[in-house]
Amino acid sequence: MTVQLTTVDTYGNVGEAERETEVFLGVDLTMLGAVSSDSYTGINAELPVEYASFPMLASCAMAACSGGLDLITLSKDFRVRSDKHGAAMDAARTMARLTQVGAVGFSAEVPTTPESIEEAVKLLASQREGWGSVEICLNDDGTFDAESLAVPIAVAHDLGVSITVRVPVRNVRGELVAQLADVADSVCLLTDNPHDAREARFALRSAARERGRELKVLVELGVVISGNKQAAVERARLIRDMNGSPVFPNKAHTIGTVYDVADTVEEWIGMGAADGVIFLPASLPTDLASIIKGVIPLLRARSTAA
């Protein structure tokens, strides 16, 4: 951990209290994967197969490690080649190759099935210096089948692999809170609202603490970073026009300078909405360089000042 910021915590009836916390910072590199050929179905032509660039992935991963980030992630949308259908384990298999680049966390999202979790755990269990995490999500109906996943999750914990569950913030209630507090090492809240994230985080961490466990709550933050606000807005518009969709639909995001991004991180942490942030760069390696060279030094300076 490289950054400490002031946050607000509350557990049960203890009430709110400010404290210094180590902020967990990561980056998602999924966009370095191959673009699925399904994206070009409107083009009436035989297109060549596109491959993900492992040298570029390794370069960005090494930069993230040396630049002070704590975690590198790949979502289950990551693809090694554009024409390969059903390649839902590409993220875990690729991440297993990336684990040699440094001593940070390496997290890969896989389908929420016992077989997928077992395979991912085997791939990520042996780390040279870092640590592995397997990401899973809720079922399509918003439930979490903890019973059917109990064995592979127990094996993961026995082998030192953590479990991260991706959860829409609206689902954090009732029985699900207890289930996540029992098995998850971290929860990635899917939300663009820090107030909703704050309530969910307090519920999850309180339930985990009652069970004698610690649970980290993370959020994703999309970033488009330029030297000034207007330049960042223009770049976001260009990316939107190229993709034919909003840059970060239904996700928390900041479009601006490194100061704007640092302010957003400090705001989310300060109000108790998260224990850490996973950056989603709009473009790589441009935004990753701005995170490493600009955002992290700013956050370090603010923690030192505090």
Residues 6+ apart with CB under 8 A from 78: 30, 33, 52, 90, 91, 94
Tens of pLDDT along 248-271?
988 999 999 999 999 999 999 999
Q: Residue 138 to residues 84, 134, 149, 295: CA-CA distances in angstroms? A: 25, 14, 12, 32
**Higher pLDDT among residues 16 and 113, named by residue:** 113
Tens of pLDDT along 262-301?
999 999 999 999 999 999 999 999 999 999 999 999 999 9
Q: Give the pLDDT score at 15.
A: 56
pTM as predicted = 0.93
Burial class (CB in 10 A: 0-12, 13-18, 19+), 204: buried
Distance of alpha carbon 180 from alpha carbon 198, whole angstroms: 16
**Higher pLDDT among residues 119 and 45, named by residue:** 119
The class of domain 3-11+24-305 in CATH terms is: alpha beta
Count other C-beta atoms under 10 Å from residue 214's C-beta. 11
Q: Give the pLDDT score at 281.
A: 97
Tens of pLDDT along 90-140?
999 999 999 988 889 999 999 999 999 999 999 999 877 789 999 999 998
